[in-house]
Chain A
């Protein structure tokens, strides 16, 4: 199924859409996924992963969306909260893990524990799988697919793939602002001088997060409630051949408030050789709000952008 046998034997990764990391209105979430139902994405992750106070989309709503997307032919995965603090959050997590309809993405070891030995599961980028022995332990407990932690490089994934356990798929975060940190403190509430317990749901005002700039006015980080993200968009479209060579099963695109479908289409066309990676890269420039980066994949600082250095090579190849 993963392989395109009609034209060649070439391995072709599938595309996934990660969970919405921001707080959008219920209407916006529903209309977003109506669009996604038609988009050429194979896997859709659904659910709140950042803040348990974000409840305009209720658990039943998520299930309704999940059913709708499944009927549209998508593989649906329910995503779970990343930082668990209150007992109420554990109860909500238990319900998600106990569902018998959909696969669950664990974003914390509590979710892994709840599903260990009971059902198959997926891990998101915040579950720390840095080496083969860790991957083996989790594979034995039911891990079916894991997402490479975003700070790890091509070199590390290459080594991990030499010893990848049978039946375990790999996913890589290839497009979107990077999730970098989680805190007990809500930075969006703090920016409004509000306590977290009375945050007035200010995250609703920032569909792509709240920009944090250095005192030299450089866009640096994005505050998204208790989560901190990169201001730059992580873009690995130029590295698409790496993912084919390494047999990375799934490439993850992270939702943004605008143009997510266009981004999906570009990656889809690129994977289906309707567009070169160079042209895809040029197209994607329009959809990155405050710069781009790809350093992590290349073993550098995450904020680095190797594109500049590689531009001359691309030029020699007759691209760009």
Chain B
């Protein structure tokens, strides 16, 4: 009796240990065959930039043409930190004028089209001078390390992203020291209020939070969309009725589906809330959910990065 039982358990354990080792290596393999499927729809949904289009055509996932809404990304400061907000915003504008802003933007093709500051709209007379900051001051940049392409771990393991580079450039311009404070997104308000960081600058949406922070300049905008597999029968927002849609917790897409797009969310069979989009994307690949509600830049990053 004990012998048999032991044998059965032993047999059960073998696939478990194999499952533990094998799954990471097969991740890349499983995405390859799907890469060429349904290029036409992918192009249809693509934006103006040729690079974005090329990237989307290469992937088997695309956004629906209808979007959920537009939002603006700005820098959030502690309430009452008007002076700091003004100085940083001024430095960002100065970087737009000297071309640094566009230069950094070029490194991140997914967000290039969403950078909304234009040199023509800026009045150079009100901006802080280069090197005018207090050199003994260290500016603590608070951000989520899981929010590409605004702030994320680079391939070489260093901290980077558009927001991180722009913030570093601001500190260089003003002559401040720079300190990165990657935090848990859920704890951002506690971090800011506790003073462990001076700002929240990480693809941070202003809409709906207008009164909660002292806001710096809006430097990027973004569109919330619905990401579906290339062979999906979902073509419009109405087709999402009765489907399972994934979203990351504490994101604008999530807030929108709870608020301005609540009626749409109510038609879903289920709104699955994830801790990170990475897991949601794996679920979409595996076919466990039908679509993901995500902003266009993070979504493009997800699909191009995972299909390349």
Same complex: no
By a beta-carbon cutoff of 8 Å, the part of chain B in contact with chain A is none
